[in-house]
Structure 1
């Protein structure tokens, strides 16, 4: 073995030990293992395209550094290993991914971490960036020129991957669409109510102006139903307008289970909290029932459909 090869092998060994330390012992993993109740295996890839935005790096948290490090820390393996051994990209990626899966499994079984397929994919992508940088950099007989070109290529490829991940993550992430007001709402009697739209109402010291609609029970009790036709965010404001004796209440159930209730006494006790907003994410087919009694009012009732930005 030539001297340069021995140096590269030594660097590879020490860097591997450095990475293994962070994988198994850093971030208080030993202490956490004593309080971990069981093994954690995450087999379904979910968020490996989510890397920190540039704004996150201005005030980086530990998780920001971990997310970025999952790729950046494994770039050197993509440079050092093909430098030591002649290996094709496909074989390198296969063997490296298997090795990471083994390490992730050991992490989980020793309770020093979890098996997370997202981490394994990010680590392997980092190694792929390094492999590409090596292939672009080592094209001459001048070692220092090769190293400089490899370093620049690695940074450029990392930025490309970072930008590509950002585009993919944005394209694959649903966001709240425009607000859709419910201006025709079926009540418990089967009647369709258009609701009211007063100029303004007064709750406590606030003058509130409903933008879309307002529904009430007319002093009695009435139940309105909303069935989600897709993945939505349902919302409304509620409170008892003045003048009032605080006689009124509201109750919300989701698929038969109560998830929220309130009464005029709540408003009497903490008037500064009102009007309140109720907001809940709903899965397709979820049935929401809102029962209003007495002088309770709900307004600006509607939903936002979760959708991809390109749709």
Structure 2
């Protein structure tokens, strides 16, 4: 009799919790108010950030996205506990049914403009359900119902922290970050120009004192100079350069930056202010870089930061 009562309570809890989750998935966060503003379906089939969850430091000042990221896992843990309590099922059968159900819900979200179909969410939701099922298997080992509930709750917390830690490690392994700055004069200039990266103490541009840290490029006594660099096997780069025309020179000249024959930057004196300026250019898979200077233009602290994995 007691088992039937527990089963009945579990059934109503499952129904109630399911309705709450469906409300959040379809109507919370002002979703209904945005329906009229949406004119196209959103389907994200390729997972790209399912392992990105906020770190412990992020939770000290959590944003809505941080809470959603954790919630997409934690909110579905109860399903992995409640359904096995109602129906005897294997892990494979349970996860198959759960994933199919989530796929249907995500599809309805997209088709009703009340959300999007996002594979990242499917994976996170399924992780939560798997954690719950694992906690159920660990916790329900005795005949004492409430002791089992307590053990399952503790197991859920431990497994959640474990998965959170693993996802954090995976995030670090597969996330790129900016490497330290490398001055461009450390590359080999394929033209063999001996003036490449000549450094001087200071410049005065627009009345401002400028102190270069790495290099200075100019064309003293010439009308034009092109510096050519082979980028080798570099991947994604952020190329930065500072430029301007020194105060003691006529305000005329130009700069061009060309990568693999494509002009990425062209600046002439007519387009400049009488003050130092800076540009950052994104390069990906580039093989050859050319910097062409004309007139009195001066470049300094030209270099790059490469996007690399932390283990590099």
The TM-score with structure 2 as length reference comes to 0.88
Residue 65 of structure 1 deviates from its aligned partner by 1.3
1:230: which partner in 2?
A: 234
Partner-residue secondary structure (3-state), 1:27 = helix
Partner-residue secondary structure (3-state), 1:15 = helix
Residue 179 of structure 1 deviates from its aligned partner by 2.8
Q: Map residues 63-212 of structure 1 onto 2, 5 A cutoff.
A: 63-183=65-185, 186=189, 190-193=191-194, 194-212=196-214
Residue 34 of structure 1 deviates from its aligned partner by 1.3
2:308: which partner in 1?
A: 307
For 1:245, which of 238, 242, 250 is the aligned residue?
250
Partner-residue secondary structure (3-state), 2:305 = strand
Deviates more, 1:300-309 or 1:118-127: 300-309
Aligned mates of 1:258, 1:155 — CA distance in 2: 55
Aligned mates of 1:267, 1:285 — CA distance in 2: 27
2:295: which partner in 1?
A: 294
Matched-pair contact (CA < 8 Å) for 2:193–2:227:
no
Matched-pair contact (CA < 8 Å) for 1:246–1:267:
no
Aligned mates of 1:257, 1:117 — CA distance in 2: 37
Which consecutive residues of structure 2, in runs of 5 or more, have no partner in the other structure? none
2:223: which partner in 1?
A: 220
Matched-pair contact (CA < 8 Å) for 1:246–1:268:
no
For 1:17, which of 16, 19, 26 is the aligned residue?
19
Partner-residue secondary structure (3-state), 1:277 = strand
Deviates more, 1:257-266 or 1:155-164: 257-266
Residue 185 of structure 1 deviates from its aligned partner by 6.0
Change (3 A) 1:255 1:17: farther
Aligned mates of 1:277, 1:185 — CA distance in 2: 23
Matched-pair contact (CA < 8 Å) for 2:95–2:130:
yes
Which consecutive residues of structure 1, in runs of 5 or more, have no partner in the other structure? none
1:281: which partner in 2?
A: 282
Matched-pair contact (CA < 8 Å) for 1:234–1:302:
yes
Aligned mates of 2:287, 2:39 — CA distance in 1: 33
The TM-score with structure 1 as length reference comes to 0.89
Residue 47 of structure 1 deviates from its aligned partner by 0.6
Residue 67 of structure 1 deviates from its aligned partner by 1.0
Residue 68 of structure 1 deviates from its aligned partner by 1.1
Matched-pair contact (CA < 8 Å) for 1:185–1:192:
no
Aligned mates of 1:255, 1:70 — CA distance in 2: 44
Partner-residue secondary structure (3-state), 2:12 = helix
Matched-pair contact (CA < 8 Å) for 2:201–2:212:
yes
Matched-pair contact (CA < 8 Å) for 1:225–1:287:
yes
Partner-residue secondary structure (3-state), 1:126 = helix
Partner-residue secondary structure (3-state), 2:306 = strand
Matched-pair contact (CA < 8 Å) for 2:255–2:297:
yes
Partner-residue secondary structure (3-state), 1:192 = coil
Residue 287 of structure 1 deviates from its aligned partner by 5.1
In the alignment of these two chains, the number of paired residues is 305
Deviates more, 1:114-123 or 1:88-97: 88-97
Q: Is 1:48 paired with 2:53? A: no
Deviates more, 1:257-266 or 1:90-99: 257-266
Matched-pair contact (CA < 8 Å) for 2:259–2:286:
no
Residue 181 of structure 1 deviates from its aligned partner by 2.2
Aligned mates of 1:62, 1:286 — CA distance in 2: 41
Deviations 1:247-269 (A, max 9, x none): 23334455555544444455545
- Superposed CA RMSD in Å reads 2.3
